[in-house]
Amino acid sequence: MSERAERQDRRLAGRSPGQLAWLRLRRDRTALVSGAVLTLFVLVACGASLIELAYGIDPRDQFQGKLDGSGMPLGYAGGISTEHFFGLEPGLGRDIFIRLVHGLRWSLVIALAAAVLTAVIGVVLGTLAGYLGGWLDAVVSWITDLTLAMPFLVVALALTPTVTLRFYGQRDAVPPAFGIAVLIAIFAVFGWTSTARLVRGQVIALREREFVEAARASGAGLGHMLFRQLLPNIWAPILVSFSLAVPQFITGEAALSFIGVGLGEEIPSFGRMIYQSLEYLQTDPAFVFFPGVTIFALVFAFNLFGDALRDALDPKSVR
Amino acid sequence: MARFLLRRALSAVLTLFAVSVLTFLMFFALPRDPVSGMCPKNCDPERLERVRQELGLRDPLVTQYAGYLKGIVTGRDLGGAQGGRCDAPCLGWSYVNNEAVTDTLARVLPVTLSIVIPAAILWLLLGVGLGLVSALRRGTWLDRAAIGFSLAGASFQLYFVGAVLLLVFVYTLRWLPVPAYTPLSTDPWRWASGLVLAWVSLAFLFSAIYARLFRAQLLETLSEDFVRTARAKGLPRSRVYGRHALRAAITPVVTVAGLDVGAALGGTVITETTFGIQGLGRTAVEAVRDGDLPTIMATVLVAAVFVVLANLLVDLLYAVIDPRVRFG
Q: Which sequence spans correspond to the domains of chain A?
A: 33-313
Could you write out the three-class secondary structure of chain A?
A: CCHHHHHHHHHCCCCCHHHHHHHHHHHCHHHHHHHHHHHHHHHHHHCHHHHHHHHCCCCCCECHHHECCCCCECCCCCCCCCCCCCCECCCCCEEHHHHHHHHHHHHHHHHHHHHHHHHHHHHHHHHHHHHHCHHHHHHHHHHHHHHHHCCHHHHHHHHHHHHHHHHCCCCCCCCHHHHHHHHHHHHHHHHHHHHHHHHHHHHHHHHCCHHHHHHHHCCCCHHHHHHHHHHHHHHHHHHHHHHHHHHHHHHHHHHHHHCCCCCCCCCCCHHHHHHHHHCCCCCCHHHHHHHHHHHHHHHHHHHHHHHHHHHHHCCCCCC
B270 and A259: CB-CB below 8 Å? yes
Which neighbouring-strand residues pair with A73? A67
Q: Where are the alpha helices (DSSP H) in chain B?
A: 2-24, 45-55, 61-73, 101-136, 141-155, 158-165, 188-222, 225-232, 237-239, 246-266, 269-275, 280-290, 293-321, 323-327
Task: Give the integer Cα–Cα distance in Å for B157 and A274.
Answer: 10
Per-residue pLDDT tens over the stretch A169-198: 666 677 778 888 888 998 898 888 888 988
Longest dimension (CA), chain A: 84
Q: Please, which residues 290-319 of chain A have a Cβ atom closer than 8 Å to chain B? A: 292-293, 295-296, 299-300, 302-304, 307, 317-319
Q: What is the dihedral of CA A290, B273, B156, B204, to 10 degrees?
A: -140
Min mean pLDDT across A30-39, B46-55, B190-199, B233-242 is at B46-55
A246 chain-B contacts, CB cut-off 8 A: none
Domain A33-313, CATH number (from 3.40.50.1100, 3.30.360.10, 1.10.3720.10, 1.20.140.10): 1.10.3720.10
> For A295, which of B32, B157, B287 is closest by C-beta distance?
B157
Q: Does residue B73 belong to the interface with chain A, where contact is any CB pair within 8 Å?
A: no
Tell me which of B167, B288, B307 to substitute to probe the interface with A (most A C-beta atoms closer than 10 Å).
B288
Kindly identify which residue of chain B lies nearest to residue A158, measuring between CA atoms: B288
Predicted ipTM beyond 0.90: no
| Confidence at residue A79, expressed as pLDDT on a 0 to 100 scale | 67
Q: Does residue B17 belong to the interface with chain A, where contact is any CB pair within 8 Å?
A: no
Query: Confidence class of residue B122 from pLDDT cuts 50, 70 and 90?
Result: very high
Nearest to residue A154, comparing CAs of B157, B270, B15, B209? B270
Q: Does residue A143 belong to the interface with chain B, where contact is any CB pair within 8 Å?
A: no
Contact between A89 and A80 under an 8 Å Cβ cutoff? The reply is no
A152 and B263: CB-CB below 8 Å? yes
Q: Does residue A189 belong to the interface with chain B, where contact is any CB pair within 8 Å?
A: no
Element containing residue B100 per DSSP (H, E): strand B99-100
Min mean pLDDT across A255-259, B50-54, B219-223 is at B50-54
Taking the CA of residue A297 and the nearest CA in chain B, the distance in Å comes to: 8
As a whole number of Å, the CA-based R_g of chain A is 24
A307 and B151: CB-CB below 8 Å? yes
More confident residue, B150 or A129: A129
In whole numbers, what is the pLDDT of chain A averaged over residues? 81
B307 chain-A contacts, CB cut-off 8 A: 148-151
Task: Give the integer Cα–Cα distance in Å for A173 and A132.
Answer: 46
The CATH code belonging to domain B104-321 is 1.10.3720.10
Nearest to residue A174, comparing CAs of A189, A162, A187, A191? A162
| Confidence at residue A318, expressed as pLDDT on a 0 to 100 scale | 47
| Confidence at residue A169, expressed as pLDDT on a 0 to 100 scale | 67
B157 and A292: CB-CB below 8 Å? yes
CA–CA–CA angle A33, A34, A36 (5° rounding) = 65
As a whole number of Å, the CA-based R_g of chain B is 24
Mean pLDDT of all residues in B89-113:
82
Distance of CA B282 to the CA centre of its chain: 13
Tell me which of A157, A189, A289 to substitute to probe the interface with B (most B C-beta atoms closer than 10 Å).
A157
Task: Give the integer Cα–Cα distance in Å for B280 and B269.
Answer: 8
| Confidence at residue B279, expressed as pLDDT on a 0 to 100 scale | 87
Task: Please check the confidence at residue B84 and state whether its pLDDT lies above 90.
Answer: no
Q: What is the dihedral of CA A297, A298, A304, A310, to 10 degrees?
A: -170
Q: Please, which residues 254-273 of chain B have a Cβ atom closer than 8 Å to chain A? A: 259, 262-263, 266-267, 269-270, 273
**What is the 8-class DSSP label of residue B137?**
T
Task: Give the integer Cα–Cα distance in Å for B248 and B262.
Answer: 23
In whole numbers, what is the pLDDT of chain B averaged over residues? 80
Taking the CA of residue A41 and the nearest CA in chain B, the distance in Å comes to: 16
Torsions phi, psi for B229 (to 5 deg) = -60, -45
pTM, to two decimals: 0.83
Q: Does residue B30 belong to the interface with chain A, where contact is any CB pair within 8 Å?
A: yes
Q: What is the dihedral of CA B124, B126, B132, B136, to 10 degrees?
A: -170
| Confidence at residue A1, expressed as pLDDT on a 0 to 100 scale | 45
Q: What is the mean pLDDT of each run of 10 residues along chain A (319 residues)?
A: 55 73 81 89 86 76 71 68 71 80 89 94 91 88 82 79 74 76 88 88 86 88 85 85 88 85 77 82 80 89 86 65
> For A154, which of B15, B266, B273 is closest by C-beta distance?
B266
Tell me which of A272, A275, A318 to substitute to probe the interface with B (most B C-beta atoms closer than 10 Å).
A318
Task: Give the integer Cα–Cα distance in Å for B201 and B213.
Answer: 19
Q: Does residue B245 belong to the interface with chain A, where contact is any CB pair within 8 Å?
A: no
Q: Please, which residues 191-220 of chain A have a Cβ atom closer than 8 Å to chain B? A: none
A145 and B269: CB-CB below 8 Å? no
| Confidence at residue B274, expressed as pLDDT on a 0 to 100 scale | 86
> For B267, which of A151, A261, A295 is closest by C-beta distance?
A151
> For B32, which of A166, A307, A317 is closest by C-beta distance?
A166
| Confidence at residue B79, expressed as pLDDT on a 0 to 100 scale | 60
Mean pLDDT of all residues in B16-23:
85
Taking the CA of residue B58 and the nearest CA in chain A, the distance in Å comes to: 18
DSSP per position, B198-258: HHHHHHHHHHHHHHHHHHHHHHHHHTSHHHHHHHHTT--HHHIIIIIIHHHHHHHHHHHHH
Q: In chain B, where are the structural domains located?
A: 2-102, 104-321
B160 chain-A contacts, CB cut-off 8 A: 274, 288, 292-293, 295-296
Task: Give the integer Cα–Cα distance in Å for B79 and A95.
Answer: 53
Task: Give the integer Cα–Cα distance in Å for A254 and A271.
Answer: 4
> For B160, which of A145, A165, A274 is closest by C-beta distance?
A274
